[in-house]
Structure 1
């Protein structure tokens, strides 16, 4: 006697095999059953009548039961045929709904774009970009995802995202990435800090300061580590947060300094210093999966974003 798990495997294989055999013939069978006439069904389906007759005969042979009773040129369903027709109509209706949803997803004017971006770009850069695009394509829908670069890249590979804004620029060969703009990073210090009265600073002058930063794996953390290394030191991380505004709050209460992009509005208790060396700028790029065609709305949004190259951070 076979173990239970073996019977489950056999049942699954047989079920999948039967479904695979039935799938291409369900619409043919349903047309014959609805019209009760093979010739008229063949005309409606646009195939020769002998081809349709052979398809129905193969279906009956594969199932091992008669589905139709022939009465001259007309046909009527057997009891087994009526059972199959009920299921076939439900399956075909579900397939049609799925096909309509797939077409709607890719419609150039009303489709959906799955777009990912960094948390630090969500307050002003992304809303401005979407506003400009929606002025030309007002009915296109967006699924927006805020995440860090590595996670967004994985989600693009999984088909969950069409496009994403990333920084730093990834070097993965399976991605196509186009630089869009550069964003200045300032050294944010508490308002009562010894350096707060300065307008400019070399990053090396902050080598002994505690830093607050996002966690490892985030693009901003990698950039912070790289700039500090270029300045000749490894930052001493006192606290970690998940987004730039949290870090600004930590800076405001004196927990450390941070390399951050400009805030949407000045934060009380925080002073932003221009870093003269090294050149603390990060490149923001638009990425999509190489070799995978974009839907029409996603391609339109990509082209619009690329047309904003060099003006992505210009919100005037």
Structure 2
């Protein structure tokens, strides 16, 4: 006797789960509608679908599950115990989908949507609050999710989809990103107020070759700029401390732990003197970056246009 084998491939547990989800998902709303009305005709009218379409969808749903969800009596139906159990979970799932849809629609609302915006720690006390204040003059209801971090971490979050835009330095150059230079910020050599150079207003960076430096940790854009400027001046800085925040470094300079190359502070700090650097040219470029090819919601597009309109005027004088 020859045994006939089914030509249908057997599904592994994981592929079965994916397959059953695809089968069930389009029919769940139909199931919930019939369960709510307990009548196929009324449910079809409520949902605006042909009664035959609705009936077929329910039959196929039960066949896919291998469980009777309804007891039928003419056009009237009532849930079986299995149907009541299934309905509880289906209603939760549909409500979650509805909440998710409402959330993304609200975030994309042109007048009251949301922008996920990342920026450097050094821009948090003055620059970013002023930017958002100016933007909200014409867009008062747009909301912001703000992330303050160092450059490489923000680029990672941009790629992960956590951010729409980020304000960073140096301006990134990567094939999957679009970046636009907005402004530049002069860096200063910060020294203790009793330092041998404290009486000067300007300095060539090479004059600080024998100094001990306090810097940001590797991975921070300002650390990379510091290393590059020192190399251009002909020396490798001796590092006494590596930190995560520019104002902490200023405090350590005031305590006499070393000198530092830093952007200007929002508020002058006692105990330090800030010297202009004449050579090499000590600046950091500030730019805005976003994912190439990533579609913008209306609020993101509006804020992007606003930032680009501030080229050359992003930072306070």
Q: Provide the TM-score with structure 1 as the length reference.
A: 0.90
Within a 5 Å distance, the mapping from 1:273-312 to structure 2 comes to: 273-312=275-314
Q: 2:108 aligns with which of 89, 106, 109?
A: 106
SS at match of 1:168: coil
SS at match of 2:71: strand
CA offset at residue 178 of structure 1?
0.9
| TM-superposition CA deviations, 1:265-299 (whole Å, max 9, x none) | 22212111111111111110011111211222222
| TM-superposition CA deviations, 1:126-162 (whole Å, max 9, x none) | 1111111122222222222111111110011111111
Within a 5 Å distance, the mapping from 1:83-122 to structure 2 comes to: 83-122=85-124
Q: Provide the TM-score with structure 2 as the length reference.
A: 0.90
SS at match of 2:273: strand
Distance 2:93 2:120 in 1: 41
**Corresponding residue number in structure 2 for 1:63:** 65
Q: 2:262 aligns with which of 260, 263, 287?
A: 260
CA offset at residue 54 of structure 1?
1.4
1:145 lines up with 2:147 in the alignment: yes
| TM-superposition CA deviations, 1:236-271 (whole Å, max 9, x none) | 112222211111111112222111101112221211
Q: CA RMSD in A?
A: 2.0
Higher mean displacement: 102-111 or 129-138: 102-111
Distance 1:120 1:250 in 2: 16
1:77 lines up with 2:79 in the alignment: yes
Within a 5 Å distance, the mapping from 1:1-316 to structure 2 comes to: 14-15=16-17, 17-314=19-316
CA offset at residue 104 of structure 1?
2.0
CA offset at residue 117 of structure 1?
0.9
CA offset at residue 168 of structure 1?
0.6
CA offset at residue 49 of structure 1?
2.3
Number of residue pairs the alignment of both structures matches: 307
Higher mean displacement: 151-160 or 36-45: 36-45
Question: Structure 1 regions of 5+ residues with no counterpart?
Answer: 1-9
CA offset at residue 80 of structure 1?
2.7
Distance 1:35 1:314 in 2: 63
